[in-house]
Amino acid sequence: MTNWQQLVQAVEPLQDLELDTELVRGLERLGHQVGHRARERAAPPVHFYTPTFKSYETSEIKSCGKNAWPAVSVTGSECKLQCDHCKAAILEPMIPARTPDDLWRVVNELIDDGANGLLLTGGSNHRNEVEYAPYYETIRRIKDSHPEFRIAAHAALMDRDAAFAMADAGVDVAMMDVIGAQETITNVYHLRRSVDDFEATLENLVRTSMRVVPHIVIGLHYGRMLGEWRALEIIQRHLPDAVVLVVVMPFYAPEKKPFVTPDSSDVGRFFQSARQALPDTSLLLGCARPPGESRMEIDTYAVMAGLDGIAHPADGAVELAARLGRRVRVTPACCSIVVGDEVMAVQNASDGLELDVDTIVREEARRRAGSRGIGIPVVSAPAPGTEIPV
């Protein structure tokens, strides 16, 4: 029987990767356990959000400039925290809405422009709170006027009243980063709050009617693993709707406090732990992760660990998933749609086209040969027992 290390060798773009053999063996064992459990229920597909699976490009994707899920910041580019990995740079490209009137105007323009929803965020105050309270009346007005328009908000830290106020305003999805190491909170975030404050926020959010999608930023402690496992334990205690994993992208780290690129095997081991800890929770790998070979290794481990969704997969990841016997769905998506779909992930589980392994292998080979493919209509899943070509 072909083992997973050999299956990777059959995927051209992944052939030269130096994977951690022990980790691959461990993921294979986990895969067989998960596969066994999945056969007892309906096996969930792995969802790929990709702008690069050319045959499935749509006109909507080609015009990625049109933003289906724009990000709006209630503080513009200002943030009091100035965390070491970000320095508020994440806010720079966002649409500013510094007053409730601005938000109302911006949202109406976005709706006229075809947006499905927005990601609402803002810089933090010194307590890692985004001061949304003045906006809640406007958010309520937006939701009453446009009930189909979705609002996903980055919650930061919140007490119980603030969480319920956000839900009452009509926010559909609350996101937050769960940090599990005090050293990271103190040193990277320059914040006088505790790990317990992050846990309390998650607990408050899951008690509301909002969908809750926490994120774990892998390598947040200057590129090293520190609080990730504790963050996972926290999430296990307050089961949310889905969890997004991202790998730190420290483009803005100051020279005096550099970040290393997280070790791919450590990231893979964390995927393994996350899958084991949250067997029935949708686990998604978000857009942010280091480029190049790291990304290829990380995505290979993500597929092997059985994550439910991968945004912008590295070359070869879709084919690998099919060769490992996973059901594969491909949704053409540029980053803003991915972010929106991530947070709505559990709602849109049937989106995308389900592809069989022969189609994927054929299309990938064509693409690598430089052809754009011909655009294939919906293809059904492989019949049970279909031989996987190696």
Q: Where do contacts with ligand SF4 occur on this chain (CB under 6 A)?
A: 79, 81-83, 86-88, 90-91, 123-124
Task: Between 179 and 344, name the residue whose CB sits nearer to ligand SF4.
Answer: 179
Q: Minimum CB separation from ligand SF4 for residue 177, in Å?
A: 8
Task: Between 78 and 263, name the residue whose CB sits nearer to ligand SF4.
Answer: 78
Residue 387 burial by Cβ neighbours in a 10 Å radius (0-12, 13-18, 19+): exposed
Q: Minimum CB separation from ligand SF4 for residue 92, in Å?
A: 10
Task: Between 34 and 343, name the residue whose CB sits nearer to ligand SF4.
Answer: 343
Token pair belonging to 193: 């709050």
Task: Between 157 and 322, name the residue whose CB sits nearer to ligand SF4.
Answer: 157
Task: Between 171 and 305, name the residue whose CB sits nearer to ligand SF4.
Answer: 171
* Nearest partner of 140 among 130, 151, 129, judged by Cα: 151
Q: Minimum CB separation from ligand SF4 for residue 354, in Å?
A: 36
Q: Minimum CB separation from ligand SF4 for residue 273, in Å?
A: 24
Q: Minimum CB separation from ligand SF4 for residue 185, in Å?
A: 11
List beta partners, residue 49. 311, 331
Task: Between 81 and 210, name the residue whose CB sits nearer to ligand SF4.
Answer: 81
Q: Minimum CB separation from ligand SF4 for residue 303, in Å?
A: 28
Q: Minimum CB separation from ligand SF4 for residue 217, in Å?
A: 9
Task: Between 141 and 190, name the residue whose CB sits nearer to ligand SF4.
Answer: 190
Q: Minimum CB separation from ligand SF4 for residue 243, in Å?
A: 18
Q: Minimum CB separation from ligand SF4 for residue 128, in Å?
A: 6
- Measure the CA–CA gap between 120 and 374, rounded to whole angstroms: 38
Task: Between 89 and 365, name the residue whose CB sits nearer to ligand SF4.
Answer: 89
Task: Between 79 and 287, name the residue whose CB sits nearer to ligand SF4.
Answer: 79
Q: Minimum CB separation from ligand SF4 for residue 164, in Å?
A: 23
Taking each helix axis from N to C terminus, what angle separates 195-206 and 228-237, rounded to the nearest 10 degrees? 30
Q: For the chain, what is the HEC assignment?
A: CCCHHHHHHCCHHHCCCCCCHHHHHHHHHHHHHHHHHHHHCCCCCEEEEECCCHHHCCHHHHCCCCCCCCEEECCCCCCCCCCCCCCCHHHCCCEECCCHHHHHHHHHHHHHCCCCEEEEECCCCCCCECCCHHHHHHHHHHHHHCCCCEEEEECECCCHHHHHHHHHHCCCEEEEECCCCHHHHHHHCCCCCCHHHHHHHHHHHHCCCCEEEEEEEECCECCECCCHHHHHHHHHHCCCCEEEEEECCCCCCCCCCCCCCCCHHHHHHHHHHHHHHCCCCEEEECCCCCCHHHHHHHHHHHHHHCCCEEECCCCCHHHHHHHCCCCEEEEECCHHHHHHHHHCCCCCCCCCEEECHHHHHHHHHHHHCCCCCCCCCCCCCCCCCCCCCC
**What amino acid is encoded at 196 in this protein?**
D
Backbone torsions φ then ψ of 305, nearest 5 degrees: -75, -10
Task: Between 88 and 216, name the residue whose CB sits nearer to ligand SF4.
Answer: 88
Are 14 and 320 in contact by the 8 Å Cβ rule? The answer is: yes
